[in-house]
């Protein structure tokens, strides 16, 4: 048999997957999935992870690693849904899907506040990775999958998010002077009929700056009679105006194939929430699998830039 | 009043103008598909309506109408505002602009409108000082947000608006320092199960300052097997914090009953984009009926406040 230069997916699954399951969580929980990595100054990788409690709503815990592959979960959650105060009605169904971005030395976490009137994009920040200060609820209801760009664009902070218009969930870009008030929203990419991302899409990994443009690793969904299939793809956006799309992957870079991606609370889900990139261009992409565990996949930035499009 | 015997209380708190509808398709000098909702403003002694007209091709735009002598309304021959073909607006307005809501704030007239484009509905914001020229400030909401209504005063030093996001179909408030970047979104009121406003609601006329707070005439929809019924209700919001509800009508202020409210492009709709408050406490509500004509009706603020703050009325 002729040897193939490429496997089934562009991303390479780590052989030790999954890196975290509910067995690794030191308190009672239902599942752990959708974690976002934060690199410390001394080279450790911390994962802020979504833990779904047995009650059914989600909270955040912290997992620590020396090598980005082997993690220990802290004994207590680091962020719980607000029970009182102005955030409580907007987080009554939990906090979900954190995405961390470092801007000018500060780590910001964009998360989904699941509340009485639908999901909203919310923003917090941390100095020590253990305490998280809520800054605000920064979207209208019906919006999720918010990620911050790692630097200002044209003098303003920028974010991607996923509001829904006329039943179609597209990825949009918005801008802000203060991270609290957002405007000049514009659509970036929408679902593509007939493709693997024909039903829903959303931003996944905070955008990565490259000389050719902003690389966004996003998720796309195809609906089937047995439910949705969540896959991972790439899009390259203009550095100065991210609503200008330069390239978009025709094929996914990762699709659910392994048992841990196919079988779980939600079948057939690969859902990335962050990546780390070392100086040699090696990437580790962290993704939730089947809404039941956290996995890691690797590749190089060069590969993504040359082979995914 | 001759002849007709009066039976008990009037059917609706808002008294319909006898000359309704005040603007309908038959009154126009040009052909169009239909006449929709209208925002209203009073400048000096003159009342202006910004009417949504559906062009023969199906797209919508705004015409200015002025009240002439003897209560006749005259539309200007050329539209006041049409969907923009300019860069960042075109894709978001290509299917039309509609439902203008006018607010006078600090000497400027702001117009919130619904922009319908490739990605759904969004709120557009424009301003004018003379209703001759108009300047677009931007598209200022996420997709599928409707019913934008600017408060006529700043709240806590900031511009404030009411809106109806697509998700949850409730009325929310948000704030801005520059009218372009908006934040601090909070839920105000939502649909009420079992009521006439049980399926979705949205802002109607831009909020009016009254002694008790902000008076908002809003619309509520109840879905039936033959389609929704849109009615008008009232809610009073706290002046300093509009998420605090002072009172809300349990029964509608106005329900579709007349033929012109029941029959049209859509059926069973009364929908307001503007109301005027007189010094003597008279409230004139301008409303679109059945998506096919413009009407008006009057009531008093005192009656509306009573109904908002009264106990639950069961009949």
Q: Could A184 and B119 be called an inter-chain contact, meaning their C-beta atoms sit closer than 8 Å?
A: no
Q: Could B142 and A180 be called an inter-chain contact, meaning their C-beta atoms sit closer than 8 Å?
A: no
Residue B3 has pLDDT above 90, yes or no: no
Q: Out of B121, B144, B183, name the one closest to residue A182 (CB).
A: B183
**What is the distance in angstroms between the CA of the first residue and the CA of the last residue of chain A?**
27
Query: Cα separation of A233 and A255, whole Å?
Result: 9
Query: Cα separation of B55 and B33, whole Å?
Result: 6
Query: Cα separation of A155 and B268, whole Å?
Result: 49
Nearest CA in chain B to A87: B186
Nearest CA in chain B to A180: B183
Domain count, chain A: 1
In a domain, A3, yes or no: no
pLDDT band at B72 (very low <50, low <70, confident <90, very high): confident
List Cα–Cα distances, A252 to A219, A235, A262, A298, in angstroms.
Answer: 9, 11, 16, 14
Q: Is residue B172 a contact partner of residue A142, using CB atoms and an 8 Å limit?
A: no
* Mutation for A interface: B172, B183, B189, most A CBs within 10 A: B183
Range with the poorest average pLDDT among A40-44, B2-6, B86-90: B2-6
Q: Could A141 and B168 be called an inter-chain contact, meaning their C-beta atoms sit closer than 8 Å?
A: yes
Residue given tokens 């470092």 in the structure block: A102
Set of chain B residues whose Cβ sits within 8 Å of the Cβ of A163: 142-144
Question: For the domain that residue A136 is a member of, what is the CATH number?
Answer: 2.115.10.20
Q: Is residue B210 a contact partner of residue B277, using CB atoms and an 8 Å limit?
A: yes
In a domain, A2, yes or no: no
What is the residue-wise DSSP string for A72-116?
EE-SS-SB----SSTTGGGSTTBEEEEEEEEETTEEEEEEEEEET
Q: Out of B91, B142, B187, name the one closest to residue A163 (CB).
A: B142
Would you call A247 helix, strand, or coil by DSSP? strand
* Mutation for B interface: A136, A166, A191, most B CBs within 10 A: A166
Nearest CA in chain B to A243: B88
Query: Cα separation of B154 and B150, whole Å?
Result: 9
What does the pLDDT look like over A97-117, one tens digit per residue? 999 999 999 999 999 999 989
Residue B145 has pLDDT above 60, yes or no: yes
What does the pLDDT look like over A235-282, one tens digit per residue? 999 999 999 999 999 999 999 999 999 999 999 999 999 999 999 999
Q: Out of A164, A168, A176, name the one closest to residue B181 (CB).
A: A176
In a domain, A150, yes or no: yes
Set of chain B residues whose Cβ sits within 8 Å of the Cβ of A180: 183-184
pLDDT at B1: 46
Name the token pair of B116. Answer: 């319908």
What does the pLDDT look like over A186-225, one tens digit per residue? 999 999 999 999 999 999 999 999 999 999 999 999 999 9
Q: Could A140 and B139 be called an inter-chain contact, meaning their C-beta atoms sit closer than 8 Å?
A: no
Q: Could A175 and B175 be called an inter-chain contact, meaning their C-beta atoms sit closer than 8 Å?
A: no
Nearest CA in chain B to A164: B143
Note if the bond before A124 is cis, omega within 30 degrees: no
Q: Could B185 and A137 be called an inter-chain contact, meaning their C-beta atoms sit closer than 8 Å?
A: yes
Q: Determine the distance from the C-alpha atom of residue B8 to the mean position of all C-alpha atoms in its chain, rounded to a whole number.
A: 30
Q: Could A142 and B166 be called an inter-chain contact, meaning their C-beta atoms sit closer than 8 Å?
A: yes
Nearest to A172 by CA among A239, A270, A245: A245
Using DSSP bridges, classify how beta strands B171-176 and B182-189 pair: parallel, antiparallel or unpaired. Answer: antiparallel
pTM tops 0.95, yes or no:
no
Q: Could B119 and A187 be called an inter-chain contact, meaning their C-beta atoms sit closer than 8 Å?
A: yes
- DSSP annotation of A14 reads P
What does the pLDDT look like over B152-193, one tens digit per residue? 999 999 999 999 999 989 999 999 999 999 999 999 999 999
Name the token pair of A268. Answer: 């057939």
Mean pLDDT of B225-234: 95
Which run of H or E residues covers position A194? none
- DSSP E strands: which ranges in A182-255? 183-189, 200-203, 208-210, 213-224, 227-237, 245-248
Nearest to B251 by CA among B171, B208, B295, B315: B315
Would you call A124 helix, strand, or coil by DSSP? strand
Residue B229 has pLDDT above 50, yes or no: yes
Query: Cα separation of A97 and A119, whole Å?
Result: 11
Number of Cβ atoms within 10 Å of the Cβ of A35: 31
* Domain coordinates in residue numbering, chain B: 15-309
ipTM rounded to 2 decimals: 0.85
- Phi, psi of B306, deg, nearest 5: -55, -45
Q: Could A142 and B168 be called an inter-chain contact, meaning their C-beta atoms sit closer than 8 Å?
A: yes
What does the pLDDT look like over A131-167, one tens digit per residue? 999 999 999 999 999 999 999 999 999 999 999 989 9
- CB-side neighbour CA atoms (13 Å) of A139: 34
Set of chain B residues whose Cβ sits within 8 Å of the Cβ of A93: none
In a domain, A6, yes or no: no
Q: Could B143 and A139 be called an inter-chain contact, meaning their C-beta atoms sit closer than 8 Å?
A: no
Rg (Cα) of chain A, in Å, rounded?
A: 18
Query: Cα separation of B207 and B210, whole Å?
Result: 9
Binding-site residues on chain A for chain B (CB distance < 8 A): 86, 89, 116-120, 136-143, 163-166, 168, 170, 172, 175-178, 180-187, 190
Set of chain B residues whose Cβ sits within 8 Å of the Cβ of A160: none
Q: Which domain holds residue A159?
A: 12-307
What does the pLDDT look like over B265-303, one tens digit per residue? 999 999 999 999 999 999 999 999 999 999 999 999 999
pLDDT band at B26 (very low <50, low <70, confident <90, very high): confident
List Cα–Cα distances, B149 to A98, A216, B152, in angstroms.
Answer: 33, 36, 9
Q: Is residue A275 a contact partner of residue A287, using CB atoms and an 8 Å limit?
A: no
Per the document, the length of chain B is: 315
- Return the CATH fold of B15-309: Tachylectin-2; Chain A (2.115.10)
Nearest CA in chain B to A89: B187
In a domain, A259, yes or no: yes
Q: Is residue B91 a contact partner of residue B70, using CB atoms and an 8 Å limit?
A: no
């Amino acid at each position: 048999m002729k040897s193939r230069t490429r496997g089934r997916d562009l991303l390479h699954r780590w052989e030790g997957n999954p890196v975290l399951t509910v067995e690794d969580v030191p308190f009672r929980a239902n599942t752990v999935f959708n974690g976002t990595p934060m690199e410390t100054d001394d080279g450790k990788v911390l994962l802020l992870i979504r833990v779904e409690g047995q009650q059914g709503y989600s909270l955040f815990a912290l997992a620590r690693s020396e090598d980005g592959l082997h993690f220990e979960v802290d004994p207590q959650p680091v962020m719980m849904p607000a029970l009182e105060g102005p955030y409580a009605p907007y987080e009554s169904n939990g906090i979900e899907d954190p995405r961390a971005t470092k801007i000018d030395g500060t780590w910001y976490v964009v998360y989904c506040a699941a509340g009485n009137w639908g999901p909203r994009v919310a923003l917090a920040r941390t100095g020590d990775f253990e305490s998280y200060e809520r800054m605000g609820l920064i979207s209208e209801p019906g919006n999720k999958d918010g990620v911050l760009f790692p630097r200002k664009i044209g003098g303003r902070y920028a974010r991607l998010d996923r509001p829904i218009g006329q039943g179609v969930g597209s990825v949009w870009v918005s801008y802000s002077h203060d991270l609290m008030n957002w405007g000049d929203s514009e659509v970036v990419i929408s679902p593509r009929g007939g493709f693997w991302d024909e039903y829903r899409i959303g931003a996944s990994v905070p955008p990565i700056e490259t000389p050719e443009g902003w690389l966004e690793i996003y998720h796309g969904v195809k609906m089937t009679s047995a439910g949705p299939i969540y896959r991972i793809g790439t899009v390259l956006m203009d550095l100065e105006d991210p609503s200008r799309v330069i390239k978009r992957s025709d094929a996914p870079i990762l699709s659910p194939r392994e048992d841990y991606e196919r079988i779980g609370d939600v079948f057939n889900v690969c859902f990335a929430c962050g990546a780390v990139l070392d100086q040699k261009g090696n990437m580790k992409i962290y993704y939730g699998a089947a809404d039941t565990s956290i996995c890691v996949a690797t590749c190089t930035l060069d590969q993504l830039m040359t082979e995914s499009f | 009043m001759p002849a007709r015997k009066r039976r008990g209380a009037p059917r609706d708190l808002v008294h319909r103008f006898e000359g309704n509808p005040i603007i309908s398709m038959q009154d126009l000098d040009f052909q169009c598909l239909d006449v929709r909702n209208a925002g209203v403003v009073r400048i000096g002694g003159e009342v202006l309506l910004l009417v949504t007209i559906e062009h023969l091709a199906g797209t919508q735009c705004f015409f200015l109408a002025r009240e002439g002598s003897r209560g006749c309304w005259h539309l200007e021959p050329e539209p006041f505002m049409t969907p923009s073909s300019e860069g960042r607006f075109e894709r978001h307005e290509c299917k039309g602009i509609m439902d203008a809501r006018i607010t006078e704030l600090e000497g400027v007239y702001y117009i919130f409108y619904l922009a319908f484009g490739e990605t759904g509905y969004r709120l557009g914001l424009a301003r004018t000082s003379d209703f001759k020229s108009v300047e677009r400030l931007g598209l200022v909401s996420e997709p599928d947000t409707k019913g934008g209504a600017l408060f006529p005063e700043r709240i806590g030093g900031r511009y404030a608006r009411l809106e109806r996001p697509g998700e949850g179909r409730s009325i929310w408030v948000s704030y801005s320092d520059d009218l372009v970047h908006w934040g601090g979104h909070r839920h105000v009121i939502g649909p009420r199960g079992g009521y006439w406003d049980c399926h979705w609601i949205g802002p109607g006329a831009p909020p009016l300052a009254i002694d008790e707070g902000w008076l908002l005439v809003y619309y509520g929809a109840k879905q039936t097997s033959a389609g929704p019924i849109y009615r008008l209700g009232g809610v009073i919001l706290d002046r300093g914090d509009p998420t605090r509800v002072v009172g809300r009508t349990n029964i509608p202020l106005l329900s579709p009953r007349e033929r012109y409210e029941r029959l049209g492009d859509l059926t069973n709709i009364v929908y307001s984009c503007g109301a005027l408050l007189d010094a003597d406490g008279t409230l004139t509500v301008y409303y679109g009926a059945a998506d096919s004509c413009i009407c008006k009706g009057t009531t008093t603020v005192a009656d509306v406040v009573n109904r908002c703050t009264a106990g639950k009325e069961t009949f």
